[in-house]
Protein backbone atom coordinates (compact mmCIF):
# COMPACT_ATOMS: atom_id res chain seq x y z
CA UNK A 1 0.00 0.00 0.00
CA UNK A 2 2.82 2.40 0.92
CA UNK A 3 4.73 1.61 -2.26
CA UNK A 4 1.59 1.89 -4.43
CA UNK A 5 0.59 5.28 -3.00
CA UNK A 6 4.14 6.66 -3.24
CA UNK A 7 4.82 5.50 -6.79
CA UNK A 8 1.33 6.45 -8.04
CA UNK A 9 1.74 10.00 -6.72
CA UNK A 10 5.21 10.27 -8.23
CA UNK A 11 4.13 9.02 -11.67
CA UNK A 12 0.96 11.13 -11.85
CA UNK A 13 2.85 14.32 -11.01
CA UNK A 14 5.63 13.37 -13.42
CA UNK A 15 3.08 12.92 -16.24
CA UNK A 16 1.71 16.38 -15.35
CA UNK A 17 5.25 17.74 -16.01
CA UNK A 18 5.89 18.86 -12.44
CA UNK A 19 9.63 19.23 -11.71
CA UNK A 20 11.24 16.02 -10.44
CA UNK A 21 12.10 17.47 -7.04
CA UNK A 22 8.45 18.33 -6.33
CA UNK A 23 7.29 14.94 -7.62
CA UNK A 24 9.62 13.25 -5.11
CA UNK A 25 8.63 15.62 -2.29
CA UNK A 26 4.89 15.18 -2.80
CA UNK A 27 5.29 11.41 -3.13
CA UNK A 28 7.25 11.44 0.13
CA UNK A 29 4.47 13.31 1.94
CA UNK A 30 1.81 10.90 0.60
CA UNK A 31 3.98 7.90 1.54
CA UNK A 32 4.52 9.15 5.08
CA UNK A 33 0.78 9.79 5.49
CA UNK A 34 -0.08 6.33 4.11
CA UNK A 35 2.36 4.64 6.50
CA UNK A 36 1.15 6.59 9.53
CA UNK A 37 4.55 8.20 10.13
CA UNK A 38 4.83 11.81 11.39
CA UNK A 39 5.29 14.42 8.66
CA UNK A 40 8.02 16.05 10.77
CA UNK A 41 10.28 13.28 9.52
CA UNK A 42 10.30 14.95 6.10
CA UNK A 43 11.86 18.18 7.35
CA UNK A 44 14.39 16.47 9.62
CA UNK A 45 15.46 14.13 6.79
CA UNK A 46 15.87 17.02 4.35
CA UNK A 47 18.11 18.88 6.80
CA UNK A 48 20.29 15.88 7.65
CA UNK A 49 20.65 14.72 4.04
CA UNK A 50 21.84 18.13 2.84
CA UNK A 51 24.62 18.42 5.43
CA UNK A 52 27.43 16.73 3.50
CA UNK A 53 30.87 18.33 3.20
CA UNK A 54 31.47 17.02 -0.33
CA UNK A 55 28.35 18.83 -1.64
CA UNK A 56 30.17 22.13 -1.09
CA UNK A 57 32.22 21.29 -4.20
CA UNK A 58 29.16 21.58 -6.45
CA UNK A 59 28.75 25.40 -6.56
CA UNK A 60 32.49 25.89 -7.09
CA UNK A 61 32.65 23.58 -10.10
CA UNK A 62 29.41 24.91 -11.60
CA UNK A 63 30.67 28.49 -11.26
CA UNK A 64 34.08 27.60 -12.72
CA UNK A 65 32.54 25.76 -15.68
CA UNK A 66 30.15 28.59 -16.52
CA UNK A 67 32.93 31.15 -16.24
CA UNK A 68 35.24 29.18 -18.54
CA UNK A 69 32.50 28.77 -21.11
CA UNK A 70 31.79 32.51 -21.03
CA UNK A 71 35.51 33.39 -21.23
CA UNK A 72 35.94 31.30 -24.40
CA UNK A 73 38.48 28.77 -23.14
CA UNK A 74 36.90 26.09 -25.33
CA UNK A 75 38.27 27.82 -28.45
CA UNK A 76 41.89 27.19 -27.44
CA UNK A 77 41.11 23.56 -26.61
CA UNK A 78 39.45 23.07 -30.01
CA UNK A 79 42.53 24.40 -31.78
CA UNK A 80 44.78 22.09 -29.74
CA UNK A 81 42.62 19.06 -30.62
CA UNK A 82 42.69 19.99 -34.31
CA UNK A 83 46.47 20.37 -34.22
CA UNK A 84 46.84 16.91 -32.65
CA UNK A 85 44.50 14.86 -34.85
CA UNK A 86 43.34 17.16 -37.66
CA UNK A 87 45.80 15.65 -40.15
CA UNK A 88 43.87 12.34 -40.15
CA UNK A 89 40.91 11.68 -42.45
CA UNK A 90 37.94 12.66 -40.32
CA UNK A 91 40.35 14.52 -38.07
CA UNK A 92 37.89 17.33 -37.36
CA UNK A 93 35.35 14.77 -36.18
CA UNK A 94 37.98 13.09 -34.04
CA UNK A 95 38.97 16.46 -32.58
CA UNK A 96 35.41 16.74 -31.22
CA UNK A 97 36.05 13.60 -29.15
CA UNK A 98 39.46 14.85 -28.00
CA UNK A 99 38.25 18.30 -27.00
CA UNK A 100 35.26 16.72 -25.21
CA UNK A 101 37.75 14.87 -23.00
CA UNK A 102 39.70 18.07 -22.29
CA UNK A 103 36.69 20.29 -21.75
CA UNK A 104 34.79 17.81 -19.57
CA UNK A 105 37.70 17.93 -17.14
CA UNK A 106 37.22 21.67 -16.87
CA UNK A 107 33.53 22.30 -17.27
CA UNK A 108 31.78 20.02 -14.79
CA UNK A 109 28.34 20.61 -16.36
CA UNK A 110 27.11 18.54 -19.31
CA UNK A 111 24.67 21.20 -20.48
CA UNK A 112 27.38 23.87 -20.42
CA UNK A 113 29.68 21.52 -22.33
CA UNK A 114 27.09 20.80 -25.04
CA UNK A 115 26.45 24.53 -25.38
CA UNK A 116 30.16 25.41 -25.63
CA UNK A 117 31.08 22.60 -28.04
CA UNK A 118 27.96 23.05 -30.16
CA UNK A 119 28.56 26.76 -30.68
CA UNK A 120 32.32 26.33 -31.21
CA UNK A 121 32.37 23.24 -33.45
CA UNK A 122 29.09 22.92 -35.32
CA UNK A 123 29.83 25.72 -37.83
CA UNK A 124 33.28 24.24 -38.57
CA UNK A 125 31.83 20.76 -39.02
CA UNK A 126 29.18 21.99 -41.46
CA UNK A 127 31.74 24.05 -43.38
CA UNK A 128 34.02 21.00 -43.72
CA UNK A 129 31.21 18.96 -45.29
CA UNK A 130 29.87 17.03 -42.31
CA UNK A 131 26.11 16.58 -42.32
CA UNK A 132 24.32 18.34 -39.43
CA UNK A 133 23.24 14.98 -37.99
CA UNK A 134 26.87 13.78 -38.06
CA UNK A 135 27.98 16.90 -36.19
CA UNK A 136 25.26 16.43 -33.58
CA UNK A 137 26.22 12.76 -33.19
CA UNK A 138 29.89 13.62 -32.61
CA UNK A 139 29.09 16.29 -30.02
CA UNK A 140 26.51 14.11 -28.25
CA UNK A 141 28.74 11.01 -28.11
CA UNK A 142 31.79 13.00 -27.01
CA UNK A 143 29.88 14.72 -24.23
CA UNK A 144 28.37 11.40 -23.08
CA UNK A 145 31.91 10.02 -22.78
CA UNK A 146 32.93 13.15 -20.86
CA UNK A 147 30.54 12.26 -18.03
CA UNK A 148 33.36 10.12 -16.66
CA UNK A 149 35.95 12.89 -16.66
CA UNK A 150 36.00 14.91 -13.45
CA UNK A 151 34.71 17.21 -12.15
CA UNK A 152 31.28 15.90 -13.23
CA UNK A 153 28.61 17.04 -10.76
CA UNK A 154 27.00 13.59 -10.98
CA UNK A 155 30.18 12.04 -9.54
CA UNK A 156 29.95 14.30 -6.48
CA UNK A 157 26.30 13.36 -5.92
CA UNK A 158 26.81 9.60 -6.40
CA UNK A 159 29.80 9.68 -4.02
CA UNK A 160 27.53 11.20 -1.39
CA UNK A 161 24.71 8.72 -2.08
CA UNK A 162 26.98 5.64 -1.88
CA UNK A 163 29.27 7.06 0.83
CA UNK A 164 32.42 6.80 -1.29
CA UNK A 165 35.36 9.17 -1.67
CA UNK A 166 34.69 11.77 -4.37
CA UNK A 167 38.43 11.99 -4.97
CA UNK A 168 38.61 8.21 -5.58
CA UNK A 169 35.75 8.48 -8.09
CA UNK A 170 37.37 11.43 -9.83
CA UNK A 171 40.61 9.50 -10.29
CA UNK A 172 38.73 6.35 -11.30
CA UNK A 173 37.00 8.12 -14.20
CA UNK A 174 40.03 9.15 -16.26
CA UNK A 175 40.93 5.77 -17.80
CA UNK A 176 37.35 4.56 -18.49
CA UNK A 177 36.64 7.86 -20.25
CA UNK A 178 39.75 7.37 -22.38
CA UNK A 179 38.60 3.82 -23.25
CA UNK A 180 35.19 5.05 -24.44
CA UNK A 181 36.92 7.91 -26.26
CA UNK A 182 39.15 5.40 -28.07
CA UNK A 183 36.06 3.41 -29.15
CA UNK A 184 34.53 6.59 -30.56
CA UNK A 185 37.76 7.55 -32.36
CA UNK A 186 37.91 4.13 -34.03
CA UNK A 187 34.32 4.62 -35.17
CA UNK A 188 35.15 8.07 -36.56
CA UNK A 189 38.05 6.61 -38.56
CA UNK A 190 35.72 3.98 -40.04
CA UNK A 191 32.96 6.54 -40.73
CA UNK A 192 35.48 8.89 -42.35
CA UNK A 193 36.54 6.15 -44.78
CA UNK A 194 33.00 5.25 -45.86
CA UNK A 195 31.52 8.78 -45.84
CA UNK A 196 34.61 10.40 -47.40
CA UNK A 197 35.08 12.89 -44.62
CA UNK A 198 37.95 15.28 -45.41
CA UNK A 199 41.22 15.77 -43.62
CA UNK A 200 40.88 18.85 -41.48
CA UNK A 201 44.26 20.50 -41.78
CA UNK A 202 47.95 19.83 -42.00
CA UNK A 203 49.87 19.90 -38.79
CA UNK A 204 53.42 20.53 -37.74
CA UNK A 205 55.51 20.51 -34.64
CA UNK A 206 55.40 24.31 -34.48
CA UNK A 207 51.62 24.36 -34.80
CA UNK A 208 51.25 21.85 -31.98
CA UNK A 209 53.59 23.93 -29.80
CA UNK A 210 51.62 27.09 -30.56
CA UNK A 211 48.31 25.35 -29.80
CA UNK A 212 49.72 24.00 -26.54
CA UNK A 213 50.89 27.48 -25.58
CA UNK A 214 47.46 29.01 -26.29
CA UNK A 215 45.70 26.19 -24.41
CA UNK A 216 48.09 26.26 -21.47
CA UNK A 217 45.74 28.32 -19.29
CA UNK A 218 42.74 25.92 -19.44
CA UNK A 219 45.01 22.83 -19.44
CA UNK A 220 46.43 23.80 -16.05
CA UNK A 221 43.14 22.73 -14.48
CA UNK A 222 43.13 18.99 -15.42
CA UNK A 223 46.82 18.79 -14.50
CA UNK A 224 46.13 20.32 -11.09
CA UNK A 225 43.08 18.11 -10.52
CA UNK A 226 44.77 14.84 -11.52
CA UNK A 227 48.08 15.60 -9.83
CA UNK A 228 46.53 17.03 -6.67
CA UNK A 229 44.13 14.13 -6.21
CA UNK A 230 46.78 11.52 -6.97
CA UNK A 231 49.22 13.01 -4.43
CA UNK A 232 46.49 13.62 -1.85
CA UNK A 233 47.13 17.37 -1.84
CA UNK A 234 43.48 18.38 -1.50
CA UNK A 235 39.92 17.08 -1.26
CA UNK A 236 37.19 17.43 -3.89
CA UNK A 237 35.73 20.44 -2.05
CA UNK A 238 39.11 22.16 -1.85
CA UNK A 239 39.72 21.37 -5.53
CA UNK A 240 36.44 23.09 -6.40
CA UNK A 241 37.53 26.25 -4.58
CA UNK A 242 40.95 26.20 -6.31
CA UNK A 243 39.43 25.71 -9.77
CA UNK A 244 36.85 28.45 -9.17
CA UNK A 245 39.52 30.95 -8.08
CA UNK A 246 41.80 30.03 -10.97
CA UNK A 247 39.00 30.35 -13.54
CA UNK A 248 38.05 33.75 -12.12
CA UNK A 249 41.62 35.06 -12.32
CA UNK A 250 42.08 33.64 -15.84
CA UNK A 251 38.80 35.09 -17.14
CA UNK A 252 39.38 38.54 -15.62
CA UNK A 253 43.09 39.11 -16.08
CA UNK A 254 44.17 36.83 -18.95
CA UNK A 255 41.18 36.60 -21.31
CA UNK A 256 39.68 39.91 -20.06
CA UNK A 257 36.34 38.90 -21.58
CA UNK A 258 34.08 38.84 -18.52
CA UNK A 259 32.79 41.81 -16.53
CA UNK A 260 32.27 41.81 -12.78
CA UNK A 261 28.52 42.06 -13.37
CA UNK A 262 28.65 38.85 -15.43
CA UNK A 263 30.70 37.19 -12.68
CA UNK A 264 28.00 38.05 -10.15
CA UNK A 265 25.27 36.67 -12.43
CA UNK A 266 27.24 33.44 -12.93
CA UNK A 267 27.76 33.11 -9.18
CA UNK A 268 24.02 33.64 -8.65
CA UNK A 269 23.16 30.99 -11.26
CA UNK A 270 25.63 28.56 -9.67
CA UNK A 271 23.98 29.10 -6.29
CA UNK A 272 20.49 28.51 -7.69
CA UNK A 273 21.53 25.32 -9.51
CA UNK A 274 23.32 24.07 -6.39
CA UNK A 275 20.17 24.64 -4.36
CA UNK A 276 18.21 22.57 -6.88
CA UNK A 277 20.73 19.70 -6.74
CA UNK A 278 21.01 19.63 -2.93
CA UNK A 279 17.24 19.93 -2.46
CA UNK A 280 16.71 17.05 -4.90
CA UNK A 281 19.22 14.91 -3.01
CA UNK A 282 17.62 15.76 0.33
CA UNK A 283 14.01 15.17 -0.77
CA UNK A 284 14.94 11.89 -2.45
CA UNK A 285 16.24 10.57 0.88
CA UNK A 286 12.72 10.28 2.29
CA UNK A 287 11.62 8.65 -0.97
CA UNK A 288 14.40 6.07 -0.56
CA UNK A 289 13.36 5.49 3.07
CA UNK A 290 9.78 4.77 2.02
CA UNK A 291 10.94 2.38 -0.71
CA UNK A 292 12.96 0.52 1.90
CA UNK A 293 10.00 0.47 4.29
CA UNK A 294 7.78 -1.01 1.58
CA UNK A 295 10.20 -3.83 0.75
CA UNK A 296 11.28 -2.55 -2.69
CA UNK A 297 14.98 -3.44 -2.12
CA UNK A 298 14.04 -6.99 -1.15
CA UNK A 299 11.87 -7.32 -4.25
CA UNK A 300 14.62 -5.95 -6.48
CA UNK A 301 17.12 -8.31 -4.84
CA UNK A 302 14.80 -11.23 -5.65
CA UNK A 303 14.38 -9.96 -9.22
CA UNK A 304 18.14 -9.67 -9.75
CA UNK A 305 19.01 -12.85 -7.85
CA UNK A 306 19.63 -14.92 -11.04
CA UNK A 307 22.41 -12.47 -11.99
CA UNK A 308 24.23 -12.52 -8.64
CA UNK A 309 26.50 -15.38 -9.68
CA UNK A 310 27.80 -13.29 -12.57
CA UNK A 311 28.83 -9.78 -11.42
CA UNK A 312 29.29 -8.53 -14.98
CA UNK A 313 25.73 -9.56 -15.87
CA UNK A 314 24.42 -7.88 -12.72
CA UNK A 315 26.31 -4.68 -13.55
CA UNK A 316 25.04 -4.81 -17.13
CA UNK A 317 21.43 -5.20 -15.99
CA UNK A 318 21.67 -2.36 -13.48
CA UNK A 319 23.51 -0.17 -16.01
CA UNK A 320 20.68 -0.62 -18.52
CA UNK A 321 18.15 0.42 -15.85
CA UNK A 322 20.31 3.42 -14.99
CA UNK A 323 20.61 4.31 -18.68
CA UNK A 324 16.82 4.38 -19.00
CA UNK A 325 16.57 6.51 -15.84
CA UNK A 326 19.18 8.86 -17.28
CA UNK A 327 17.24 9.16 -20.53
CA UNK A 328 13.77 9.62 -19.03
CA UNK A 329 14.43 11.40 -15.72
CA UNK A 330 17.84 12.99 -16.41
CA UNK A 331 20.96 12.04 -14.48
CA UNK A 332 20.55 13.07 -10.86
CA UNK A 333 17.21 11.30 -10.20
CA UNK A 334 18.90 8.07 -11.27
CA UNK A 335 21.53 8.63 -8.60
CA UNK A 336 19.13 9.45 -5.80
CA UNK A 337 16.28 7.03 -6.57
CA UNK A 338 17.59 3.86 -8.24
CA UNK A 339 21.22 3.54 -7.18
CA UNK A 340 20.69 3.51 -3.37
CA UNK A 341 18.33 0.56 -3.83
CA UNK A 342 20.70 -1.62 -5.87
CA UNK A 343 24.00 -0.51 -4.30
CA UNK A 344 23.73 -2.82 -1.22
CA UNK A 345 23.06 -5.78 -3.54
CA UNK A 346 26.22 -4.95 -5.52
CA UNK A 347 28.28 -4.90 -2.33
CA UNK A 348 26.77 -8.19 -1.22
CA UNK A 349 27.92 -10.01 -4.37
CA UNK A 350 31.43 -8.59 -4.16
CA UNK A 351 31.42 -5.72 -6.68
CA UNK A 352 33.84 -2.97 -5.70
CA UNK A 353 31.86 0.18 -4.81
CA UNK A 354 34.10 2.49 -6.88
CA UNK A 355 33.75 0.20 -9.91
CA UNK A 356 29.98 0.17 -9.40
CA UNK A 357 29.80 3.97 -9.21
CA UNK A 358 31.91 4.43 -12.35
CA UNK A 359 29.73 2.01 -14.34
CA UNK A 360 26.59 3.84 -13.25
CA UNK A 361 28.14 7.22 -14.07
CA UNK A 362 28.97 5.99 -17.58
CA UNK A 363 25.42 4.61 -17.97
CA UNK A 364 23.85 7.91 -16.92
CA UNK A 365 26.09 9.79 -19.37
CA UNK A 366 24.95 7.54 -22.21
CA UNK A 367 21.33 7.84 -21.09
CA UNK A 368 21.46 11.65 -21.24
CA UNK A 369 22.31 11.33 -24.94
CA UNK A 370 20.02 8.43 -25.89
CA UNK A 371 17.09 9.09 -28.25
CA UNK A 372 14.31 9.99 -28.14
CA UNK A 373 14.19 11.67 -24.70
CA UNK A 374 17.78 12.27 -23.60
CA UNK A 375 17.90 15.92 -22.56
CA UNK A 376 21.56 16.34 -23.56
CA UNK A 377 20.86 14.90 -27.00
CA UNK A 378 17.92 17.26 -27.51
CA UNK A 379 20.17 20.21 -26.73
CA UNK A 380 22.83 19.00 -29.21
CA UNK A 381 20.14 18.60 -31.89
CA UNK A 382 19.05 22.18 -31.29
CA UNK A 383 22.48 23.40 -32.45
CA UNK A 384 22.37 21.07 -35.48
CA UNK A 385 18.76 21.99 -36.30
CA UNK A 386 17.71 18.39 -37.05
CA UNK A 387 14.83 16.31 -35.72
CA UNK A 388 15.20 13.40 -33.31
CA UNK A 389 14.05 10.80 -35.83
CA UNK A 390 16.14 12.20 -38.67
CA UNK A 391 19.17 12.07 -36.38
CA UNK A 392 18.48 8.56 -34.99
CA UNK A 393 19.36 6.92 -38.32
CA UNK A 394 22.85 8.43 -38.10
CA UNK A 395 23.39 8.15 -34.36
CA UNK A 396 23.05 4.39 -33.81
CA UNK A 397 26.75 3.57 -34.61
CA UNK A 398 27.84 6.13 -32.00
CA UNK A 399 25.44 4.69 -29.46
CA UNK A 400 26.83 1.24 -30.21
CA UNK A 401 30.41 2.50 -29.70
CA UNK A 402 29.39 4.02 -26.36
CA UNK A 403 27.84 0.71 -25.27
CA UNK A 404 30.96 -1.23 -26.35
CA UNK A 405 33.03 1.10 -24.18
CA UNK A 406 30.58 0.60 -21.30
CA UNK A 407 30.89 -3.19 -21.59
CA UNK A 408 34.70 -2.92 -21.50
CA UNK A 409 34.45 -0.91 -18.28
CA UNK A 410 32.07 -3.48 -16.81
CA UNK A 411 34.16 -6.51 -17.76
CA UNK A 412 37.57 -5.04 -16.80
CA UNK A 413 37.21 -3.55 -13.29
CA UNK A 414 40.88 -2.57 -13.16
CA UNK A 415 40.22 0.15 -15.73
CA UNK A 416 38.30 1.96 -12.99
CA UNK A 417 40.34 0.85 -9.99
CA UNK A 418 43.94 1.27 -11.17
CA UNK A 419 44.44 5.00 -10.51
CA UNK A 420 42.65 5.27 -7.12
CA UNK A 421 44.33 2.03 -5.98
CA UNK A 422 47.81 3.19 -7.01
CA UNK A 423 47.14 6.47 -5.19
CA UNK A 424 46.33 4.51 -2.01
CA UNK A 425 42.70 5.68 -1.87
CA UNK A 426 41.21 2.18 -2.10
CA UNK A 427 42.34 -1.38 -1.47
Q: What pLDDT, on the 0 to 100 scale, is given for residue 107?
A: 59
Residues 6+ apart with CB under 8 A from 83: 203, 207, 208, 210, 211
Mean pLDDT by 10 residues, the chain (427 residues): 74 76 77 74 69 73 78 75 76 82 66 69 76 86 86 82 87 92 91 77 78 81 77 77 86 84 87 77 71 67 74 89 77 72 85 94 88 76 77 88 95 93 85
**How far is residue 320's CA from residue 380's CA, in Å, rounded to a whole number?**
22
**How far is residue 242's CA from residue 41's CA, in Å, rounded to a whole number?**
37
Q: What pLDDT, on the 0 to 100 scale, is given for residue 416?
A: 94
- Say how many C-beta atoms besides its own lie within 10 A of residue 219's C-beta: 18
Q: What pLDDT, on the 0 to 100 scale, is given for residue 114?
A: 75
Q: What pLDDT, on the 0 to 100 scale, is given for residue 294?
A: 66
Read off the pTM: 0.81
Q: What pLDDT, on the 0 to 100 scale, is given for residue 181?
A: 92
Q: What pLDDT, on the 0 to 100 scale, is given for residue 236?
A: 74
**How far is residue 112's CA from residue 36's CA, in Å, rounded to a whole number?**
43
Residues 334-347 have pLDDT tens digits of 667 778 878 888 88
Q: What pLDDT, on the 0 to 100 scale, is given for residue 178?
A: 93
| Whether 100 contacts 113, CB under 8 Å | yes
Q: What are phi and psi of 90, to 5 degrees?
A: 80, 20
Q: What are phi and psi of 89, to 5 degrees?
A: -65, 130
Q: What are phi and psi of 199, to 5 degrees?
A: -75, 140
Q: What pLDDT, on the 0 to 100 scale, is given for residue 1?
A: 65
Q: Spell out the domain ranges in the chain.
A: 39-422
Alpha helices in 55-165 (DSSP H): 57-71, 73-85, 91-107, 110-127, 132-145, 153-161
**How far is residue 363's CA from residue 357's CA, in Å, rounded to a whole number?**
10
Amino acid sequence: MILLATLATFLILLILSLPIVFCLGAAGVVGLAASGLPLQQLSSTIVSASQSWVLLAIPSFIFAGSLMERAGMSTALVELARALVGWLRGGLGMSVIVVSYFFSDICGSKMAEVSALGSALMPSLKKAGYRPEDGASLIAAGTAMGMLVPPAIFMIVISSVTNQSAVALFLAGFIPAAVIGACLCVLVLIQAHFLKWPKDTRTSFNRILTALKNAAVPLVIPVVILGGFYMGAFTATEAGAIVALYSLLAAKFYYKSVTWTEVLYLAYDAGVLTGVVVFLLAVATIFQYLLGLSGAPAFLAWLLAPLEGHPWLFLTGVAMLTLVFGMVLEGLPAAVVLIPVVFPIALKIGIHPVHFDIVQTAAVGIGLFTPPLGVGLLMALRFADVSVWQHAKTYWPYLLALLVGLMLIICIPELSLFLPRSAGLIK
